[in-house]
Structure 1
């Protein structure tokens, strides 16, 4: 509630408002009544325009940031792709060098096997010849043993065995 001392001031304010409304008349009052919602509608439209403008500016900044990030990402990916391609190329060269070296070593091992086959063939010929030598030596020793057993070349042995000279 209002205190009683302020009542005359309130009545005076209401009287001045009534005088202004009287001067406006009916068309002024209608215009004043319609001006309130129109002002609210105009304010809503202005605020919507400002919000849209702010949103467009924010979207443009966001788009620019995204394009910059995409550009940096592509640049980084291109750099990584170049590094990866360089590493793959280096790996390919290393692998080819390893395969060449492996091929040379394989050729050497293959040659070692061929040489060993020749050595074995030579050894087989040598053992065959040696076998002939052993057989001939054995026969010669058998003949010598046989001769020594029946020693008929020595005159004393012949005379002892047969009784004749």
Structure 2
């Protein structure tokens, strides 16, 4: 089952990131990718993904996201951002299921700078040169904003047990 996220509010800087594009520097393409690879990998493993799957990278403050019709199995890792689902605090570094239509709000980071929201199935932005990472200065990918919809990959069958 595939799901979708709607961005209600984007926060300071919201982009899709993965491990980047190593090996393209000789062609003038920067490697890019996640600024905190360890937290990206941790979030992905908690969400049941491969460690290098694409996730949402948030800087300093996070977005408000509405879960699609299939809900959202996700994990938040990295900076200690204040997060809640419909006002109920969301624990960091844990896997949680957000019911369909519920609002996931990720606030500011009182400690740290970047956090990653991984969703089961990963973020399904079209890959460019083998990566889904955004590099807006290089003209690859996009900076996400209010009103954008984000397609996610298929949730694994075990997600239905949540």
More strand by share: 2
Select the structure that is richer in helix: 1
Range into which the TM-score falls when normalised by the shorter chain: under 0.3
Higher relative contact order (CA 8 A, sep 6+): 2
